[in-house]
């Protein structure tokens, strides 16, 4: 019999006292995290229908869900995924997903070159993009400088969840300098300025998020530009660079970014500071499938895997949809999303060019449009009132830029993840409504 010397009568920490988390009351001082408005903006269209009749046509250019506005994942892929699920069974999988998913994603999707030193073990499945991002943020906190309260650098007008996702895990979000005339692109000077700002604040930078094609602006960067910015960040002392590539296959050719080119531009040591995120939310219109993955160093993958074993464990069906897409050929599988968006992109470019209004467009499926002249003509404060006016009076829902940051307060995000015929009518109705404010 083991002697306990009375220790069972006393409370006991799970970890050694040297590893106990110190008391820190920062949660009590945090700003309330704002809920995403993506689920509520479209409700303004109901007011339009109440006023003009239930049969009145409406155009939802606010959403980022190709599975709602376009056909989404082809039915045969969903059926094939169900077959794979039945064959696989319903037991727990590993926190990283399955080896089958890792191997197929490494070899068929990314096609890693041997000289990168990366392969299946550098991939970890996540339950959608937000899950992947939150896991990446946690890794940045723990594996970088090993503390909360440091800074995550994002663009001047970031996707709204970049403002709040990092904040929820203990990172303060810092908006990089940016010029609207350049689509608020990162600059080398701006990246260095963020590191200097952090030092002046007695903090450090935990990492930077490079998103392309961008949400909300649609701004797109080449591989070369991304590499140069990442190199600048690492040279400035950033411990991690996170590439969010969720939209990268939604372009006129359907050609993905070359991850090998990016990896080989860095030394083996710096390569381990890179994290990539991708998934099928956008390219396959699979929003509620919740299927994404991170590509990262073994240290990051092991950290995320360990954390996931006590948190979110992966759905096999979400992996099976991807495997079914690989079987078919991913480019062909994604064509029901990529092709109509490409056609809509050409319609948008033409309409915006003819409008003479300042705008930003690249790939992905967003255009960012400056509505300053209409705001001033109507005596509005910012584009939030433009959004209400367009939805309630003209049946077009968009996302006001002020929801992303004050730098985008006079801009709106227009989603053309729509069938081309609907995009053509939506952008025409958009400008028809705006032009009534000039009279």
Q: What is the pLDDT confidence band of residue 4, given thresholds at 50, 70 and 90? A: low
Count of beta carbons in the 10 Å neighbourhood of residue 407? 19
Are residues 295 and 162 located together in one domain of the fold?
A: yes
pLDDT for 187-236, tens place per residue?
A: 999 999 999 999 999 999 999 999 999 999 999 999 999 999 999 999 99
Please determine, for residue 39, whether its predicted confidence score (pLDDT) is greater than 90. Answer: no
Rounded CA-CA distance 354/73 in Å is: 34
Give 113's pLDDT tier (boundaries 50, 70, 90): very high
Is 68 a domain residue? Answer: no
> Are 202 and 248 part of one and the same domain?
yes
Q: Is the peptide bond before 216 cis (omega within 30 degrees of 0)?
A: yes
| 274-279 and 59-60 strand pairing | unpaired
pLDDT value at 36 more than 80: no
pLDDT digits (tens, 9 = 90+) for 91-109: 999 999 999 999 999 999 9
317 with 417, same domain: the answer is: no
Residue 3's pLDDT band, with cuts at 50, 70 and 90, is low
- What's the rounded mean pLDDT across residues 331-336? 95
pLDDT at 42: 67
Which residue reads 């954390």 in tokens?
A: 307
Token pair, residue 146, equals 């090993």
Q: Cα(59)–Cα(422) distance, rounded to whole angstroms? A: 8
Task: Report how far residue 151's alpha carbon sits from residue 237's, in angstroms, rounded to the nearest whole number.
Answer: 12
Q: List the Cα angle 21/134/175 in 5-degree steps.
A: 100
- The dihedral region occupied by 320, where left means phi > 0, alpha psi between -120 and 50, and beta the remainder, is alpha
Within a domain: 137: yes
How many independent structural domains does the chain possess?
A: 2
Residue 63's alpha-carbon distances to 74, 269, 392, 396, in angstroms, are: 20, 40, 17, 11
pLDDT at 190: 98
User: What's the domain range around 168?
Assistant: 75-329
Strands of 161-246, DSSP E: 172-175, 205-211, 241-244
> Do the domain assignments include residue 421?
yes
Residues 342-398: pLDDT tens digits?
999 999 999 999 999 999 999 999 999 999 999 999 999 999 999 999 999 999 999
Residue 50 lies in a domain: yes
293 and 365 part of one domain: no
Q: 274, 296, 329 — which closes off a domain?
A: 329
Torsion angles phi and psi, residue 60, rounded to 5: -95, 95
pLDDT recorded at residue 35: 76
Last residue of some domain: 306, 329, 352? 329
Question: Are 92 and 54 in a shared domain?
Answer: no
In a domain, residue 36? The reply is no
Phi-psi region of 115 (alpha: psi -120 to 50; beta: other; left: phi over 0): alpha
Question: What pLDDT does 10 receive?
Answer: 87
Q: In the predicted model, is pLDDT for residue 80 greater than 60?
A: yes
Residues 157 and 124 both lie in one domain? yes
Is residue 120 one of the residues assigned to a domain? yes
Mean pLDDT is lowest, of 2-11, 53-62, 145-154, for 2-11
For residue 351, give the CATH number of its domain.
3.90.1150.10
- Note if the bond before 213 is cis, omega within 30 degrees: yes
* Cα–Cα distance for residue pair 246/268, rounded to 1 Å: 25
> Distance between CA 198 and CA 205 in Å, rounded?
6
Could you tell me what percent of the chain has a pLDDT over 70?
97
* Backbone dihedral angles phi then psi of residue 209, each to the nearest 5 degrees: -105, 120
pLDDT at 66: 83
| Of 56-65, 297-306, 308-317, highest mean pLDDT | 297-306
Residue 2: predicted pLDDT: 52
Say if residue 253 is in the same domain as residue 372.
no
388, 307: one domain: no
325 with 338, same domain: the answer is no
Place of tokens 């359907």: 254
Total Cβ atoms within 10 A of residue 59? 24
Strand order in the sheet with 399-400: 359-361, 366-370, 411-415, 399-400
Q: What is the mean pLDDT of the chain?
A: 94
Q: Are residues 369 and 426 in the same domain?
A: yes
- Does 116 reside within a domain? yes
Q: What is the CATH number of the domain that holds 93?
A: 3.40.640.10
pLDDT of residue 343: 97
Higher pLDDT, 39 or 169: 169
Give the end of a domain, one of 296, 329, 362.
329
Whether 141 and 96 share a structural domain: yes
Q: Please answer whether residues 87 and 104 qualify as being in contact, where contact means their C-beta atoms are separated by less than 8 angstroms.
A: no
- pLDDT range class, residue 64, cuts 50, 70, 90: confident
Q: Is the pLDDT of residue 6 over 90?
A: no
Residues 6 or more apart in contact with residue 64 via CB below 8 angstroms: 38, 215, 282, 365, 366, 415, 417
- The upper half-sphere exposure of residue 66, i.e. CA atoms within 13 Å in the direction of its Cβ, equals 30
166 lies in a domain?
yes
> Is the domain of 305 the same as that of 361?
no
């Amino acid at each position: 019999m083991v002697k306990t010397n009375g220790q069972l009568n006393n409370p006991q920490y799970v970890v050694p006292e040297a590893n106990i988390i110190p008391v820190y009351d920062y949660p009590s001082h945090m700003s309330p995290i704002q809920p995403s408005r993506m689920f509520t903006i479209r409700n303004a269209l109901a007011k339009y229908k109440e006023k003009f009749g239930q049969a009145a046509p409406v155009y939802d250019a606010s959403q980022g869900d190709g599975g709602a506005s376009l056909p989404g994942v082809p039915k045969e892929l969903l059926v094939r995924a169900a077959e794979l699920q039945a064959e696989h069974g319903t037991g727990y999988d590993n926190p990283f997903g399955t080896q089958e998913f890792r191997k197929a994603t490494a070899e068929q999707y990314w096609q890693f070159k041997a000289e990168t030193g990366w392969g299946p073990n550098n991939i970890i499945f996540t339950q959608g993009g937000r899950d992947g991002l939150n896991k990446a943020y946690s890794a940045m906190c723990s594996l970088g400088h090993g503390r909360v309260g440091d800074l995550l650098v994002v663009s001047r007008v970031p996707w709204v969840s970049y403002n709040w996702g990092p904040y929820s895990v203990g990172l303060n979000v810092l908006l990089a300098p940016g010029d609207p005339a350049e689509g608020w692109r990162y600059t080398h000077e701006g990246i260095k300025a963020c590191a200097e700002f952090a030092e002046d604040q007695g903090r450090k930078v935990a990492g930077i998020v490079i998103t392309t094609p961008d949400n909300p602006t649609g701004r797109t960067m080449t591989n070369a530009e991304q590499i140069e910015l990442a190199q600048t960040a690492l040279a400035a002392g950033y411990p991690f660079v996170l590439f969010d590539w969720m939209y990268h296959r939604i372009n006129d050719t359907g050609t993905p970014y070359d991850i090998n080119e990016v990896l080989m531009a860095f030394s083996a040591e710096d390569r381990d500071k890179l994290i990539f995120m991708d998934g099928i939310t956008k390219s396959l219109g699979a929003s509620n499938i919740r299927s994404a993955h991170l590509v990262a160093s073994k240290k990051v993958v092991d950290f995320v895997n360990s954390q996931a074993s006590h948190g979110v464990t992966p759905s096999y069906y979400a992996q099976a949809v991807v495997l079914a897409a690989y079987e078919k050929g991913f480019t062909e599988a994604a064509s029901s999303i990529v092709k109509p968006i490409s056609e809509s992109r050409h319609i948008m470019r033409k309409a915006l060019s003819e409008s003479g209004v300042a705008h930003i467009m690249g790939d992905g499926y967003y255009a960012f449009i400056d509505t300053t002249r209409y705001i001033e003509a109507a005596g509005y404060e910012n584009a939030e009132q433009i959004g209400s006016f367009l939805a309630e009076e003209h049946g077009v829902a968009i996302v006001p830029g002020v929801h992303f940051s004050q730098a985008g307060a006079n801009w709106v995000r227009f989603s053309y993840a729509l069938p081309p015929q609907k995009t053509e009518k939506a952008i025409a109705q958009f400008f028809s409504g705006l032009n009534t404010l000039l009279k």
